[in-house]
Amino acid sequence: MKKFMVLLTGIAVLGFTSCGTVPERTENPVQTPMHASALSASAADETVDAENIYSVQDIRNLQDFLLGKPVEKPLNGKPYDLNHDGCWDVFDLGLMKQKIQAKPASDMLVVYFSRTGNTEKIAQYLIDLTDADSYVIEAAVPYSDEDIQYQTDCRANREQNDKTVRPEIADPIASLDGYDTIFLGYPIWWGQEPRIIDTFLESYDFSDKTVIPFCTSGSSGIATSEKNIADLVPIGNQLAGRRFPASATKNDVKEWVDTIPLNKETAETRLLLSVNGQELTASFSDSTAAKELTEKALKLKAICRKYNVPLIVNDDVRAAIDSSADGVHVGADDMDVAKIRKLAGDNFIIGATAKTVEQAKNAQAQGADYLGCGALFASSTKQSAKPMTPDTLKQITSTVTIPVVAIGGLTYDNIDIISGCGVSGAAVVSAVFAQDDVKNAAEMLKEKIKKLI
Ligand SMILES: Cc1cc2nc3c(=O)[nH]c(=O)nc-3n(C[C@H](O)[C@H](O)[C@H](O)COP(=O)(O)O)c2cc1C
């Protein structure tokens, strides 16, 4: 059995032997104070059963330890003495590798660079939450404290000032094959990703991968680095990233992860276009994947940008964020407005449906930018919509201070109902899209609405 394990770890064994650092099997493996702290973790872990999950990083840690290399991460929290013989050795490494091979492979990888530990903390939360594998980007020439003294002419500053610098990576991961989704984490350095992230990106093929950036920073956002990443190499699908402060909790990371369509669940495809302040809903009621909605929104966004019209995606917050739409419109049963605001930031437009004065006040208090209120008439595009009287609409508009858009079965002929209701606009579908001449119908309706509000 032990022979088999040695074979499994053949290359590593050769390395250890030549370095002469393999601890004797009867010896206490403690070699340095750092290793001593690691050993106490191992002893404490003896009682933990063998079902622990190990990552490639754990193998690397144990291997470094056995080679007598400095172990940057303390070997704690996991039982490294897999065969319970009182010391850590290549047999444990072999067993660990076996476990990794037996474990169903994750198609997700969390890759991160972290100089002072903030990004690493977020990455660890992410790894725990997604059960992804992990890989730490380390510089071949590590960044010393002086190297990141950004008030001085330090190495980090010089690198950030030169877009062509590509710091060498110490121990590049051999291949990204087998990983479909890569979370890529880094600190913000002068508003951007550290250049070593560019080294990483240029070292592999991401053209069929989903890449999800995340970062930590003092205050800067992630947008510039997201654009740099998108411009640097072809990426199959780059999802909207997330910036975290150093103080972010595991729950903050969870809230973000929960919005990411990692398991490709299906979703209804409905879009609501906001055209110069007037809302237009386009409905695709087939059950295509959420990804397709994002793709549609991306195409629509390109058109909307051309005509300087904001794009609001209906219901699907993730698709709205992933397509860099200008906002999302949510119903009373969808995600809380406050939650979306926290997730998407202040510049994101959030519209909320309100059927009552209470709902309207609540949505405004949570940070909604506008309200959609109706249905003033029955609508073939939403037969389940509950009717709303013009009186209720008036009560809502006189209670809230944010714009209110009337909706529900509105046509050129019946739209006079909004007169005197205090609304800022009207949302329609059929009144435009079901007409033979869509452009003319939109123009006429727009003219009429202008006179009514
Ligand atoms: C060289 C350098 C430049 C930085 N530039 C910015 C910046 O432009 N904006 C910002 O908000 N924070 C900036 N920071 C702060 C880091 O982004 C922040 O401390 C981050 O959480 C560090 O992550 P880490 O612990 O994973 O290395 C900078 C830090 C360094 C060292």
- Domain boundaries of the chain, sorted by first residue: 2-102, 108-259, 269-452
Taking every pair of C-alpha atoms in the chain, what is the biggest distance, in angstroms?
91
* 346-361 exposure pattern, b = at least 16 Cβ within 10 A, e = fewer: eebbbbbbbbeeebbe
Residue 115 CB less than 6 A away from ligand 1: yes
Give 343 Cα–ligand 1 centroid separation in angstroms: 21
Task: Write down the mean pLDDT value for the chain.
Answer: 79
Q: Tell me the chain's radius of gyration from C-alpha atoms.
A: 28
Share of the chain above pLDDT 90, in %: 49
Atom of ligand 1 nearest to the CA of 245: 21
Give 183 Cα–ligand 1 centroid separation in angstroms: 19
**φ and ψ at 208, to 5 degrees?**
-115, 20
Pocket probe for ligand 1: among 143, 189, 222, 228, the residue whose CB has the most ligand atoms within 8 Å is 189
Residue 155 CB less than 6 A away from ligand 1: no
Q: Is the pTM of this model over 0.85?
A: no
- Residue 434: per-residue pLDDT: 87
Intra-chain end-to-end CA distance of the chain, in Å: 83
Residue with CA nearest ligand 1 atom 9: 220
Residue 156 CB less than 6 A away from ligand 1: yes
**pLDDT tens digit string along 330-382?**
987 767 898 888 877 888 899 999 999 999 999 999 999 999 999 898 776 66
**Residues 281-304, mean pLDDT to the nearest whole number:** 65
Q: Is-contact 295 302, C-beta < 8 A?
A: no
Q: How does residue 320 score in pLDDT terms, banded at 50, 70 and 90?
A: confident
Give 38 Cα–ligand 1 centroid separation in angstroms: 30
Q: Is-contact 330 337, C-beta < 8 A?
A: yes
Q: Which residues are within 8 A (CB) of 226 and not within 5 positions of it... i.e. 6 or more apart?
A: 213, 238, 240, 241
Residue 114 CB less than 6 A away from ligand 1: yes
Give 364 Cα–ligand 1 centroid separation in angstroms: 35
Give 158 Cα–ligand 1 centroid separation in angstroms: 14
Pocket probe for ligand 1: among 120, 155, 190, 224, the residue whose CB has the most ligand atoms within 8 Å is 190
| 108-259 to CATH, choices 3.40.50.150, 1.20.1740.10, 3.40.50.10210, 3.40.50.360 | 3.40.50.360
CA distance 310 to 323: 12
Residue 245 CB less than 6 A away from ligand 1: no
Type of residue found at 14: L
Give 211 Cα–ligand 1 centroid separation in angstroms: 22
Q: Is-contact 87 29, C-beta < 8 A?
A: yes
Residue 284 CB less than 6 A away from ligand 1: no
Q: How does residue 318 score in pLDDT terms, banded at 50, 70 and 90?
A: confident
Residue 117 CB less than 6 A away from ligand 1: yes
Residue 146 CB less than 6 A away from ligand 1: no
Give 223 Cα–ligand 1 centroid separation in angstroms: 15
CA distance 289 to 308: 28
Cα–Cα nearest to 403, from 373, 429, 447: 373
Superfamily of domain 269-452: Aldolase class I (3.20.20.70)
Q: Which residues are within 8 A (CB) of 410 and not within 5 positions of it... i.e. 6 or more apart?
A: 374, 376, 377, 417, 418, 426, 427, 428, 431
Share of the chain above pLDDT 70, in %: 75
Give 227 Cα–ligand 1 centroid separation in angstroms: 18
The sign of the torsion formed by the CA atoms of 12, 18, 21, 23 equals positive
Identify the burial level of 125 via C-beta atoms within 10 angstroms of its C-beta, where 0-12 means exposed, 13-18 middle and 19 or more buried: buried
Residue 291 CB less than 6 A away from ligand 1: no
Give me 424's structure tokens.
């800022």
**pLDDT tens digit string along 40-76?**
233 333 333 345 667 666 777 777 777 777 765 666 6
